[in-house]
């Protein structure tokens, strides 16, 4: 098997500022912590070969002994293996807890995932799905477009939001990321460019790169969207498509207003650029519902919309959908034949029930999440006063700006305390956003407080070291 080789320059960008001045931990241990975090986050692919010790040490400006010791720690923990002629190759330990800790304690909390556990409505929806299942048992169960009851429910949902839609314009897929990968397979080829918001959803970056395409970032301002920047980037790079998250953007939580949606649709029409709009978070609003779908401002059918049951209802359903022109849906069905034969029927029936009865439980869920958001904001202000946050009008997380480029260091330190953090570099292209963290507020308030209090001393030490270093420079 041919192993993927991790380029030294790429690895250095991913590592960012991994070394902590005045830290009591030896340098080799700091390097091991930073590399482990890259492997756990998926930013350092599995079965990829690291640079040789001599080359790596020279690039990091440390001794070869330091690099060898760091790699030795990771081999002992099971994150690297040595293969003859291939050097050190990344892997995951054969058995490990979800949040590893070297202290021997129980893992505390995963703060890298913004998702909800199932509510009682999920069990009820499956009960309803079992009742509705018998008529479908006479078929093969293979339906690449999705069963009619679910497509009808989704189409009616778009109708209610101001976007005329027929069931023929809907295709059910195995999650929004799966749908995006299918669109990429249809519309792009190796080397094509795909414009993205920056920051953006990490799995979207992975899907773009997995399709051998190149993500082209357009910076997202503190408020709103940079439509001039989007237009200029499209004009300069001629992308095959653009991937946007206008509804409670992941990770920032921002929501695109109606005027900007109209401008973006006009840019797409003028430049003949296909827009892929991810609406995964559309139901999770706390202050006001979002404007009509971006596709409602599209007269040329250049907008492909992705939806998902994962955030609105439960991630374990693993179902999403694509809304596009009937012609595009027909092309996507042909492409799908080379990947899979459709989505599970029982889950589709359950999601159809959830969509139909969503107003029975979504308002309560939004109120519950809004309280958690506000409790988390107060907690951050108390425990981490130097962090800057903007209260998101929707979504599941805060996009936290740190006072310095400390995200990777803090995440690596927290990992050893049993808390898994989402460093901002996961959400950027080529290691950007070292000064940011994404912090979900989906966990029980007391559990979240316990986790944040447990890693507060680590943060204070990092912050003090950084301040001391700044004073020495001055």
Residue after which a domain boundary falls, among 312, 338, 359: 359
Q: Please identify, among 359, 378, 405, the residue that sits at the C-terminal boundary of a domain.
A: 359
Report the CATH number at residue 147.
3.40.640.10
The SS3 of residue 89 is strand
Residue 110: in which H helix or E strand, if any?
Answer: strand 109-111
Tell me what pLDDT residue 86 has. 67
Quote the CA–CA distance of 358 and 121 in Å, as a whole number: 9
DSSP for residue 143: B
pLDDT of the residue at 154: 98
Residue 52 lies in a domain: yes
CA 213 to chain centre: 18
Neighbours of 48 (CB within 10 A): 17
> What are the C-alpha distances in Å from 154 to residues 157, 320, 328, 404?
5, 10, 17, 44
Residue 104 lies in a domain: no
**Number of structural domains, the chain?**
3
| Greatest extent of the chain over all pairs of C-alpha atoms, in Å | 77
Same domain? 368 vs 271 = no
Residue 400, phi then psi, degrees to nearest 5: -95, 125
- Residues 386 and 340 both lie in one domain: no
* 167 DSSP 8-state letter: G
203 and 138 share one domain:
yes
Q: Edge-to-edge, what's the strand order for the sheet holding 48-49? A: 4-5, 48-49, 87-90, 80-83
Please name every residue paired with 420 in a beta bridge, in sequence order, or none if there are none: 110
Q: Within this chain, do residues 316 and 399 fall inside the same structural domain, yes or no? A: no
How far apart, in whole angstroms, are the C-alpha atoms of residue 313 and residue 288? 19
Phi and psi, residue 82, nearest 5°: -100, 125
d(CA 4, CA 319): 31
What phi and psi, each to the nearest 5 degrees, are found at residue 139?
A: -95, 175
For residues 306 and 385, state if they share a domain: no
Is residue 399 domain-shared with residue 338, that is, in the same domain? no
Considering the domain architecture, whether residues 189 and 210 belong to the same structural domain is answered as yes
Q: Are residues 293 and 181 in the same domain?
A: yes
DSSP 222: S
Contact 415, 96 (CB under 8 A): no
CATH classification of the domain holding 404: 3.90.1150.10
Q: Tell me the two tokens of residue 65.
A: 């002994």
Dist. CA 86–CA 2, nearest whole Å:
10
Last residue of a domain, one of 308, 336, 359: 359
In this prediction, residue 211 carries a pLDDT of: 95
Q: What is the dihedral of CA 286, 371, 450, 93, to 10 degrees?
A: -30
Residues of the chain with pLDDT under 70: 1-4, 21-22, 41-42, 84-86, 95-108, 466-474
333, 225: one domain? yes
- The DSSP element (H or E) to which 322 belongs, if any, is strand 320-323
Q: What is the CATH number of the domain that holds 23?
A: 1.10.10.10
> How is residue 388 annotated by DSSP?
B
Say what the pLDDT of residue 437 is.
96
- Distance CA(40)–CA(452), nearest Å, equals 20
**246 and 339 share a domain?**
yes
Please state the pTM of the whole predicted model: 0.82
Structural domain span for residue 8:
4-90
The Cα 45–Cα 58 span in angstroms is 22
Q: What are the distances in angstroms from CA 362 to CA 192, 257, 282, 284, 285?
A: 39, 22, 12, 8, 10
pLDDT at 468: 54
Structure tokens at 282: 């559309």
pLDDT of residue 100: 41
For residue 101, is it within any domain? Answer: no
Per the domain annotation, does 214 fall within a domain?
yes
Give Cα 396 to chain centroid, integer Å: 12
Cα three-residue angle 31-35-36, rounded to 5 degrees: 115
The edge-to-edge listing of strands for the beta sheet with 193-198 is: 170-173, 320-323, 303-308, 274-278, 241-244, 193-198, 214-219
Residue carrying the six token digits 């980037």: 233
Indicate whether 352 belongs to any domain. Answer: yes
* DSSP code for 94: S
Examine residue 167 and state whether it is found in any structural domain, yes or no: yes
User: In angstroms, how far is the first alpha carbon of the chain from the final one?
Assistant: 52
Residues 72 and 130 in one domain: no
How high is the pLDDT of residue 13? Answer: 78
As a whole number of angstroms, the distance between CA 37 and CA 69 comes to 17
Mark whether 153 and 47 lie in a shared domain.
no
Q: Is 342 left (phi over 0), alpha (psi -120 to 50) or beta?
A: left
Under a CB-based contact definition with an 8 Å cutoff, are residues 295 and 303 in contact?
yes
10 occurs within a structural domain: yes
3-state secondary structure of 384: coil
Plot region of 16 (φ>0 → left; ψ -120 to 50 → alpha; else → beta): left
């Amino acid at each position: 098997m041919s192993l993927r080789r991790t380029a030294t320059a790429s690895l250095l960008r991913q590592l960012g500022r991994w070394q902590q001045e005045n830290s009591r931990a030896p340098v080799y241990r700091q390097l091991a912590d930073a590399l482990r975090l890259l492997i756990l986050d998926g930013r350092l692919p599995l079965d990829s070969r690291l640079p040789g010790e001599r080359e790596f040490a020279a690039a990091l400006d440390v001794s070869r002994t330091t690099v060898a010791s760091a790699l030795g720690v990771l081999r002992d923990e099971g994150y690297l293996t040595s293969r003859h002629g291939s050097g050190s190759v990344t892997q995951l330990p054969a058995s490990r807890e979800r949040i590893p800790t070297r202290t021997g304690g129980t893992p505390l909390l995963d703060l890298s995932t913004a998702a909800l556990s199932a509510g009682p409505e999920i069990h009820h929806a499956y009960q309803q799905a079992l009742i509705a299942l018998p008529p479908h048992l006479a078929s093969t169960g293979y339906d690449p477009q999705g069963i009619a009851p679910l497509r009808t429910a989704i189409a009616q949902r778009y109708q209610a939001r101001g976007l005329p839609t027929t069931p023929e314009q809907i295709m059910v897929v195995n999650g929004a990321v799966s749908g995006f990968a299918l669109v990429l397979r249809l519309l792009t080829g190796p080397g094509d460019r795909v414009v993205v918001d920056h920051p953006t959803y990490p799995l979207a970056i992975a899907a773009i790169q997995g399709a051998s395409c190149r993500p082209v970032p357009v910076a997202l301002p503190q408020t709103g969207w940079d439509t001039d920047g989007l237009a200029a980037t499209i004009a300069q790079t001629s992308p095959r498509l653009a991937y946007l998250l206008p509804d409670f953007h992941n990770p920032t939580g921002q929501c695109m207003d109606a005027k900007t949606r109209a401008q973006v649709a006009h840019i797409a029409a003028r430049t003949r650029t296909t827009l892929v709009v991810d609406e995964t978070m559309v139901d999770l609003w706390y202050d006001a519902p979002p404007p009509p779908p971006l596709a409602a401002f599209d007269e040329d059918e250049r907008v492909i919309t992705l939806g998902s049951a994962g955030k609105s209802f439960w991630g374990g359903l693993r179902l999403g959908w694509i809304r596009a022109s009937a012609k595009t849906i027909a092309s996507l069905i042909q492409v799908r034949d080379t990947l899979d034969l459709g989505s599970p029927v029982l889950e589709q029936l359950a999601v159809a029930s959830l969509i139909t009865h969503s107003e029975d439980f979504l308002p309560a869920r939004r109120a519950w999440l809004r309280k958690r958001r506000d409790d988390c904001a107060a907690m951050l202000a108390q425990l981490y006063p130097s962090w800057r946050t903007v209260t998101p009008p929707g979504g599941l997380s805060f996009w936290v700006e740190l006072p310095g480029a400390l995200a990777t260091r803090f995440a690596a330190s927290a990992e050893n305390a049993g808390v898994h953090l989402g460093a901002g570099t996961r959400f950027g292209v080529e290691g950007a956003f070292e000064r940011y963290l994404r912090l979900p507020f989906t966990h029980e308030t007391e559990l979240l407080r316990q986790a944040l209090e447990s890693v507060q001393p680590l943060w204070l030490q990092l912050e003090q070291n950084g301040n001391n270093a700044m004073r020495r420079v001055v």
